[in-house]
């Protein structure tokens, strides 16, 4: 691609909330020759949603929407900082905002970022999972999320508007931004059991701080259907958009087959 000793195939900027530890853990599973990952954290002021709900009495859904609104204001600075590294692609390591408001909300959100980054390529959680599901040719899905009910509603709306039948959404309603990463494997397994069924073609996991890269590939073999962690879908989308076509084993069918 160029004369860079490292990152000669792709230099990928990754926007990550300051509270998030899941995205970087997942990125560390992908040490590909000529590909470098460059996280840029943006400040999360409203971190403890349950405590804020208790203090203000405004309701968990309202607190979560205020959290997203504050987050939007932090993105431009983080984007500017990572652009200074001469990245070749931008990946979003946050997902709730990419689903918000259905198709129209997603398009407006992505357009706002695209205006800032110009012709640079962009990968988002919503867009990546859409493309991954289309690659598998599935029709019906279920979803697990760490969000409160308002987040689940927006996820359901987005997937429904892009043509998928959403059978079930299991929201874990985590009490804080950091608590998402503290979700146990048992909780994830219970959620998968809740949403799975013979009429479900694939299961999607939203929430980038909820890493399922260690268990979803095994569940995929067990359940005999695509299991799509949002971080893996976004990594896949990013690599392919950068022209990196490596087939990667052990991280799920998406990276092995497409």
- Model confidence over 125-160: pLDDT tens digits? 999 999 999 999 999 999 999 999 999 999 999 999
Mean pLDDT, residues 100-105: 97
How far apart CA 152 and CA 234 sit, in angstroms, is 19
- What's the pLDDT score for residue 4? 79
CATH class for the domain made up of 10-124+231-248: alpha beta
Half-sphere exposure of 143 toward its Cβ, with a 13 Å CA cutoff? 27
pLDDT at residue 1 above 60?
no
CATH of domain 128-229: 3.40.50.1860
CB atoms within 10 A of CB 197: 12
Global pTM? 0.96
- Model confidence over 36-72: pLDDT tens digits? 999 999 999 998 998 888 889 989 899 999 999 999 9
**Strand locations in 73-147, DSSP E?**
89-92, 121-123, 140-145
Where does the chain hold its CATH 3.40.50.1860 domain(s)?
A: 128-229
pLDDT at residue 30 above 90?
yes
The mean pLDDT value of the chain amounts to 96
Where does the chain hold its CATH 3.40.50.12500 domain(s)?
A: 10-124+231-248
Pair 130, 154: CB distance under 8 Å: no
């Amino acid at each position: 691609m160029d004369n860079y000793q490292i990152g000669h195939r792709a230099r990928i900027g990754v926007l990550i909330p300051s509270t998030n530890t899941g995205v970087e853990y997942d990125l560390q599973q992908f040490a590909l020759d000529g590909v470098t990952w460059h996280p840029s954290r943006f400040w999360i002021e409203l971190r403890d949603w349950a405590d804020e709900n208790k203090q203000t009495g405004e309701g968990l859904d309202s607190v979560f929407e205020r959290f997203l609104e504050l987050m939007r204001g932090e993105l431009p600075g983080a984007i500017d900082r990572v652009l200074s590294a001469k990245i070749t692609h931008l990946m979003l390591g946050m997902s709730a905002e990419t689903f918000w408001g259905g198709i129209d909300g997603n398009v407006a959100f992505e357009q706002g970022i695209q205006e800032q980054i110009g012709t640079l390529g962009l990968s988002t959680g919503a867009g990546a999972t859409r493309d991954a599901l289309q690659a598998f040719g599935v029709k019906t899905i279920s979803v697990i999320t760490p969000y409160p009910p308002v987040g689940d509603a927006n996820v359901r709306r987005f997937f429904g508007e892009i043509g998928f039948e959403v059978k079930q959404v299991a929201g874990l309603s985590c009490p804080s931004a950091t608590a998402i990463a503290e979700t146990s494997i048992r909780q994830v397994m219970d959620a998968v059991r809740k949403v799975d069924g013979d009429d479900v073609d694939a299961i999607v996991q939203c929430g980038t701080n909820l890493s399922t890269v260690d268990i979803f590939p095994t569940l995929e073999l067990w359940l005999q259907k695509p299991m799509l962690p949002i971080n893996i879908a976004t990594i896949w989308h990013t690599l392919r958009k950068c022209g990196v076509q490596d087939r990667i084993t052990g991280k799920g069918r998406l990276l092995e087959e497409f």
